[in-house]
Amino acid sequence: MAPRIPKRMSGCPVHGGLAVPVVAARHRHGGRPPMFGLNHPGRVTGALLGKRCGGCGGALSTRPGGKYALLMRPVDFTRGYSAEPALHPSDCAPYALAACPMLNGHLARHRATPRDLEAERCGDPECDCHLWTTSADHHARAAAPASPFCLATYRQEDYRLHYGDADVLFGVATAGIAPLTVKLVTRGDPSVVDLTRALLAGLPLWES
């Protein structure tokens, strides 16, 4: 049974009983399924710059004491940023954990065949599917065991962005920012490298 869609995400498209995150790649017309697991670069950038939730698209808290959540792998902690936009910690983050098969433990490995985006182009000149790209490590992750994920919450006052060379926006910065909480939410099958990163970052990969 599909998890209950939170009220914040009631305006999102629904496919197969699951709410489609606002940052997910999807075609201009609804005849083709959304690309769960592939983010639309423009929507990601908009969410990051606008301090908006990557699930529902709504504004993250700006009130004193407000919080935001990040779902992060060991590699994200050690490189100092999350490429995924932040989520509302009370509902959108728990929904992502319940709905995503990589996060809820239903998939133990990444898909064996890298996604062929050329085959996904719809040919509609007004659809921006020709702009879709996979992440830099997409091919390296093919058939790889699922990584552990932690849910980290932060003070809204600490929200800032991480930029690389030539002011390229990489994501939400975490380096030098103390999280309020860090909880292991997906055990995955950590590699030796993941375990080393977890030790360096002080992550709770051995929680019961």
The encoded tokens of residue 42 equal 């423009």
Q: Who has greater pLDDT, 164 or 124?
A: 164
Among 149, 148, 151, which Cα is nearest to 190's? 148
In this prediction, residue 208 carries a pLDDT of 45
Q: Which residues of 192-204 are buried (b: 16+ CB within 10 A; e: fewer)?
A: eebeebbeebebe
Q: What's the pTM value of the predicted model, to 2 decimals?
A: 0.90
Confidence check: pLDDT of 142 > 70: no
In this prediction, residue 118 carries a pLDDT of 78
Convert the pLDDT of each residue in 103-119 to its tens digit: 998 887 766 677 777 77
Convert the pLDDT of each residue in 143-195 to its tens digit: 678 889 999 999 999 999 999 999 999 999 999 999 999 999 999 999 999 99
CA distances from 122 to 32, 33, 116, 129, 137 (A): 9, 11, 13, 7, 25
Long-range pairs of 23-29 with CB within 8 A, sequence gap ≥ 24: 23/47, 23/54, 23/57, 23/84, 23/85, 25/129, 25/132, 27/122, 27/124, 27/127, 27/129, 28/122, 28/124, 28/126, 28/127, 28/128, 28/129, 29/122, 29/124, 29/127
Q: Who has greater pLDDT, 182 or 208?
A: 182
SS3 sequence, 34-90?
CEEEEECHHHHHHHHHHCECCCCCCECCCCCCCEEEEEECHHHHHHCEECCCCECCC
In this prediction, residue 108 carries a pLDDT of 76
Convert the pLDDT of each residue in 16-64 to its tens digit: 999 999 999 988 876 788 888 889 999 999 999 999 999 999 999 999 9
